[in-house]
Amino acid sequence: MQKQVERLKRQDAVFWLVGLGSLLFALITLLSLIVDMAMTGWPRISAAFFMSFASRFPEKAGIYSAWVGSLTVVMVTAMLAIPLGVATGIYLEEYAGKNWLTKLIEINILNLAGIPSITYGLMALGIFVYHFQLGQSIITAGLTLGLLILPIIIVTTREAIRTIPSHIREACYALGSTKWQTVWNHILPYSSGGILTGVVIALSRAIGETAPLLTVGALTFIAFLPTPPVMAEPPFVSFQWLLDPYTVMPIQMFNWVSRPQEEFHVNAAAAGLVLLTMTLLLNATAIYIRYRFRRKYKW
Amino acid sequence: MVEKLKKAEVLNLSFGYSPAVKVIRSINLPIYQNKVAALIGPSGCGKSTLLRCFNRMHDLYGQVKYEGEIKLYPESVNILSTTVDPIEVRMKVGMVFQKPNPFPKSIFENIAYGLRVRGIKKRSYIDDKVEDSLKKAGLWGEVSARLHTSAAALSGGQQQRLCIARALATEPDLLLLDEPTSALDPISTAHIEELLAELKKSVTILMVTHNLHQAARTADYTAFMYLGDLIEFGESDQIFTNPKEQRTENYITGRFG
């Protein structure tokens, strides 16, 4: 008896070691990468770095067009993917009948979330660039990334909705609510924490994506900003910026890394540091939103 | 003798989620106005299923087919008819569930919601209705000072009375209670039982309960169901003291169930 307990205890200790080892391995690798990048890139970080365009002189080059590009592209992505994804999630969860067709759609959406991102780039090249003649523009990039993160938003929306207990739904219907009243007054507010978390995480993935944008031809030398969306003379707003060429942070990095001069690699590290900070900030926002809503809605 | 007024009547009702399996079979049952009627029977006998026909809750879970009728008086409409919208039915028939299920909103908003669903926007009317319903549910004294705080902070018994107030705010013709005290402690249970005697003055009540003493104490009429059939229906006094059916007697004396 005692022998067996000891044997089991040894087993426990072994697993503890293995688990800790794997954790440390992942952590140390990641940390050393980050620290290395931060050490290399940090000296380059300055106001001028943010406000300078790409240049063939490494010490003059900056990420102005890249961060503006990232921001505008992500904006277009969000405008496409959030309404479409959330509406689809609500439809599938609350409106669609439960039959083999919805099952099939469900499985396919899950599959879409796992497709390599370059496939989306190829599809976008065919549809947006060649067929719709949108060119190498911000709108092409936004639509491509929007499609890429659409399944993620659909899946997280559905998961968020599913955490609402059915007895809350029944309480609402029992009062004579229509489906839309139930969705608008209850389902959406109670699941908005989960949905927002999913949206932010999906957007932070979109910010870091490179491959699909390379496919639609984003790898260009951009030393100017897109057309401003507001003008001094009527009609005051302009959507020309949607059709302007662009570059984004990860592509700017890729661009610099592939140059032979060592100084450009420093720039790449600095840009990487900025990109990483942007992503971490977004993820932190997601965690904060989730925390806030968990406290607000308890069943 | 004055003819007792019927609020509703179940006529030859059968229901099941698949046509082959009927959960309840050929039920006939009168519901008298301003009385409390209790449905009793062992688990799985179909009493909750029957209750949930009264506000068409089954319609939420796919295409369902009701056979037979439930007539609501005095209009004498068959609320199970395919031409009657379930939402219309739920506007007239309120429900309180087994587990207290307040919305994660303020106490005020919980009660006002039913009114808002009906498109009522007048602030003073809503204020009055909220106060009135809370008073009817015996909760006003405890919560009047914190109407705009979260309903989740209330105790289980208070939450259940809030759910009753929520159902009352829209002045239903019929109030359905699905084991309203099974998740509550004895004191909260007693509180709600006292409430029923008061409530039946203004609303007709149909209640499912597992607690035979509760049915004997609070219900004017009791129906005993077993395996999807209605075995016996009568005044509670008669059912509990002098049942006509052997199975009813076996159940209430605790020989099975």
CB pairs < 8 Å spanning A and B: 61
Residue B166 has pLDDT above 90, yes or no: yes
The more confident residue out of B132 and A297 is: B132
- Given this model, what pLDDT does residue B148 score? 93
CA atoms within 13 A on the CB side of A157: 27
A 146-165 near B (Cβ less than 8 A): 165
- Given this model, what pLDDT does residue A80 score? 94
Average pLDDT, chain B: 91
- Given this model, what pLDDT does residue A58 score? 79
- Given this model, what pLDDT does residue A165 score? 92
Map B90-116 to HEC letters.
Answer: HHHEEEECCCCCCCCCEHHHHHHHHHH
Residue B165 has pLDDT above 90, yes or no: yes
Task: Label residue B171 left, alpha or beta by phi (over 0 means left) and psi (-120 to 50 means alpha).
Answer: left
How many domains in chain A? Answer: 2
A299 pLDDT band, cuts 50/70/90, is low
Are A14 and A52 part of one and the same domain?
A: no
- The neighbouring-strand residues paired with B72 are B8, B77
Q: Which residues on B lie below 8 Å from A176 (Cβ)?
A: 87-88, 90-91, 114, 117-118, 170
Region A177-192 average pLDDT: 93
Proportion of chain B above pLDDT 90, given as a percent: 80
Backbone dihedral angles phi then psi of residue B216, each to the nearest 5 degrees = -65, -40
Region A83-95 average pLDDT: 94
Six-digit token string for B49: 């299923």
- Least confidently predicted of A25-29, A179-183, A286-290: A286-290
What does pTM read for this prediction? 0.84
Residue A298 has pLDDT above 80, yes or no: no
Residue B176 has pLDDT above 80, yes or no: yes
Task: Sheet with B77-78: list strands edge to edge.
Answer: B24-32, B6-15, B66-72, B77-78
Q: Which residues on A lie below 8 Å from B117 (Cβ)?
A: 175-177, 181
- For chain B, the straight-line distance linking the first and the last C-alpha, in angstroms and rounded, comes to 37
The more confident residue out of B90 and A218 is: B90
Chain B interface residues facing chain A, Cβ-Cβ under 8 Å?
Answer: 55, 57, 60, 62, 87-88, 90-91, 94-95, 97, 99, 101-104, 113-114, 116-118, 152, 163, 166-167, 170
Cα pseudo-dihedral A202, A208, A210, A211, rounded to 10 = -40
Region A90-110 average pLDDT: 90
Residue with tokens 């592509």: A251
- The neighbouring-strand residues paired with B37 are B206, B221
Region B222-235 average pLDDT: 94
User: What gap in Å lies between CA A57 and CA A256, rounded to an integer?
Assistant: 11
Cα pseudo-dihedral A227, A230, A235, A238, rounded to 10 = 40
Are A223 and A269 part of one and the same domain?
A: yes
Enter the ipTM: 0.91
Report yes or no: B51 and B39 within 8 Å, Cβ to Cβ.
yes
Q: Which residues on B lie below 8 Å from A174 (Cβ)?
A: 55, 57, 90, 94-95, 97, 167
User: What gap in Å lies between CA A64 and CA A57, rounded to an integer?
Assistant: 15
Are A78 and A90 part of one and the same domain?
A: yes
A291 pLDDT band, cuts 50/70/90, is confident
User: What gap in Å lies between CA A157 and CA A221, rounded to an integer?
Assistant: 38
CB contact under 8 Å between B118 and A176, yes or no, is yes
Q: How many helices (H) and strands (E) does chain B have?
A: 10, 10
B20 pLDDT band, cuts 50/70/90, is confident
CB contact under 8 Å between B170 and A297, yes or no, is no
Are A36 and A141 part of one and the same domain?
A: no
CB contact under 8 Å between B170 and A176, yes or no, is yes
Q: Which of A170, A173, A190 lies nearest to residue B104, judging by beta carbons?
A: A190
Backbone dihedral angles phi then psi of residue B99, each to the nearest 5 degrees = -95, 130
B193 pLDDT band, cuts 50/70/90, is very high
User: What gap in Å lies between CA B231 and CA B244, rounded to an integer?
Assistant: 10
Relative orientation angle of helices A138-162 and A64-90, to the nearest 10 degrees: 40
Q: Give the Å distances, CA to CA, from A209 to A148, A149, A156.
A: 10, 10, 19
Residue A219 has pLDDT above 80, yes or no: no
Report yes or no: B143 and B158 within 8 Å, Cβ to Cβ.
yes
Integer Rg of chain A from CA: 24
B1 pLDDT band, cuts 50/70/90, is very low
Are A139 and A117 part of one and the same domain?
A: yes
Are A138 and A286 part of one and the same domain?
A: yes
User: What gap in Å lies between CA A65 and CA A61, rounded to an integer?
Assistant: 11
CATH of the domain at A77: 1.10.3720.10
The more confident residue out of B200 and A229 is: B200
Q: Give the Å distances, CA to CA, from A31 to A27, A38, A95, B181.
A: 6, 10, 46, 56
Which range marks the domain in which residue A17 is found? 2-43
Are A23 and A55 part of one and the same domain?
A: no
Report yes or no: A197 and A289 within 8 Å, Cβ to Cβ.
yes
Nearest to A190 by CA among A217, A172, A215: A172
Are A238 and A272 part of one and the same domain?
A: yes
Report yes or no: B174 and B111 within 8 Å, Cβ to Cβ.
no
Are A126 and A12 part of one and the same domain?
A: no
Region B32-51 average pLDDT: 93
Q: Which residues on A lie below 8 Å from B88 (Cβ)?
A: 176
Residue A196 has pLDDT above 80, yes or no: yes
Region A271-290 average pLDDT: 89
Region A143-165 average pLDDT: 94
A216 pLDDT band, cuts 50/70/90, is confident
**Residue from A173, A175, A192 whose CB has the most chain B CBs within 10 Å, to mutate:** A175
Region B172-191 average pLDDT: 91
Q: Which domains does chain B have, with CATH numbers?
A: 6-102+171-182+189-252 (3.40.50.300)
Are A242 and A288 part of one and the same domain?
A: yes
Q: Which of B91, B99, B152 lies nearest to residue A176, judging by beta carbons?
A: B91
CB contact under 8 Å between A175 and B55, yes or no, is no
User: What gap in Å lies between CA B168 and CA A132, rounded to an integer?
Assistant: 58
Are A16 and A128 part of one and the same domain?
A: no
Are A168 and A148 part of one and the same domain?
A: yes
- Name residue B147's amino acid: L
- The pLDDT tens digits of the residues spanning A6-32 come to 999 999 999 999 999 999 999 999 999
- Given this model, what pLDDT does residue B220 score? 95
